[in-house]
A and B are shown apart, each in its own frame.
Chain A
Amino acid sequence: MKVTLINGNIPGNKPFDDFIDKVLSQVAAEQVFRFNLDEMDIRSCTGCWDCWVKTPGLCMHKDDMQQVLPKIMESDLLLFCSPLVAGFPSFRVKLLMDRLIPLVHPYILLYKNECHHRKRYEKYPDLGFILQKEKETTSKDLKILEEMFQRLSLNFHADVKFVRTMDHHTSESIAHEISSF
């Protein structure tokens, strides 16, 4: 089992990094590819669609995302880790999510009775989320987020396996969840 871990932590938030380290130290996985977004150059998608109509499957940006995409496709689990900022994972995580579209086709078909993009690859990793709450975060907010993540996974014809917070779950239980995946 291989995992790509996207760490969207914000500068100066050591407790979250420590928590992720602790989870990882207890995970039994064949390989973990870890990307710390604050040390990386990942630019905004420009909506140019070169990845669909010019160089199918490849983004025109030559930045650090070139290293991330192959690892994502090699993995069984794509694990997004981020504190919530303004009620959503950090903007660096969202910039990365926007850059996932080379992984699908522009062609639209019906999937679960809705229009969705056709798959470019046979298999995609499932998604997992480890979050840190803000003082404003309610259980209703977490529910809204979980639904949004499920929508994201639909586009990649995959599932959301879990959404956990470091405030409500222990590193042991999350590590166990990842390992038993």
Chain B
Amino acid sequence: MRLAVFNGSPRKKAGNTQILLEKFAEGYKSIDSDVLFGAYLKDMQKAGENVKAFKEADIIVIGFPLYTDAMPGVVKYFFEKLWLEKPLSGKKLGFIVQSGFPEAIHSTFVEKYLERFTENLGCEYLGTIIKGGGEAIRQTPEKSNRKLFDYFRKLGKELARNQQFNQDILQELKKTYMFSPAVRFVFRVIRPMGLFDRYWNKELKKNNAFEKRYDAPYSGS
């Protein structure tokens, strides 16, 4: 069964989506080597090639970072190209959505859209793998990501074996649906200490932009 993996991140290779997709494809390849990897939806001029690759695959997985609570515009562009080709029956289509927000709730709205989109295309819906707190992946050492990477390898491996997403891992990955009242309380108490701003402040200082961080260039308009 041929798997085609599409990366919908506007950051292409440099993003967190790429890392998760790599682990996923690695897992699939350990069972079945027929994997097409390395297509970036940001390359909008290659939409024709990408649609062709989609049509030649049996199983398709599209990964993207959550952009304003939905798929990035470049992914939407690809969806519109696929739309022209429907029905694309006899294929299985699944998604990986990763977002910087720690809670899964942010990604559950686009999930409903993705399911309907898949149905309308005529494909069988595999499901949507939701991973919150994704921005931290690049910033933490490989070792602390081991468990997460194992999950993605396992998801890929089991997809090759059973042509399905492992539902237990899906549930595990999105178990922080929202913060509990206790977590929210702690968040509010420690918020003023600036722990959560540390990464941003470091970057701002590195760029000599810390003093300008509250700039509102369009406030006069």
Residues of chain A whose beta carbon lies under 8 Å from any beta carbon of chain B: 44-49, 52-58, 69-74, 85-88, 90-92, 94-98, 100-101, 103, 105-110, 113-115, 120-122, 136, 140-141, 144-145, 147-148, 151-152, 154-155
Contacts and interface: CB of A to CB of B under 8 A. Distances in A.
Contacts of A70: 218, 221
B178 A151 contact: no
Nearest to A102: B217
Contacts of B206: 53
Contacts of A154: 69
Contacts of A58: 215, 217
Interface of B: 9-11, 15, 42, 44, 65, 67-74, 76-77, 79-80, 82-83, 101-103, 105-106, 109-110, 112-113, 116-117, 120, 178-179, 184, 187-188, 191, 196-197, 200, 203-204, 206-207, 209, 212-219, 221
The 5 A-B pairs at the shortest CB distance, nearest first, are namely A95-B73, A151-B69, A94-B73, A53-B203, A73-B218
A174 to B, nearest CB: 24
A175 to B, nearest CB: 25
A58 B213 CA distance: 11
B213 A85 contact: no
Given A57-B218, A113-B179, A114-B106, A98 B68 contact: yes
Given A87-B113, A110-B187, 5 more contacts: A52-B200, A52-B203, A69-B218, A74-B218, A115-B102
A101 to B, nearest CB: 7
Contacts of B82: 86
B218 A45 contact: no
B221 A148 contact: no
A170 to B, nearest CB: 27
A145 B178 CA distance: 21
B113 A106 contact: no
Given A44-B74, A86-B82, A110-B187, A152 B68 contact: yes
A70 B101 CA distance: 27
Given A148-B110, A155-B68, A113 B80 contact: no
B72 A101 contact: no
Nearest to B112: A144
Contact of B10 (A44, A56, A85, A92): A44
Contacts of B212: 55-56
A95 B79 CA distance: 13
B184 A88 contact: no
B69 A44 contact: no
A48 B197 CA distance: 18
Nearest to B77: A91
Contacts of A103: 218
Contact of B207 (A53, A109, A155): A53
Contacts of B77: 91, 95
5 contacts: A44-B42, A54-B209, A95-B76, A110-B191, A114-B105
A97 B218 contact: no
Contacts of B80: 85-86, 90-91
A70 B221 CA distance: 6
Contacts of B101: 108, 114-115
Contact of A94 (B76, B184, B187): B76
Contacts of B74: 44, 91, 95
Contact of B117 (A53, A87, A155): A87
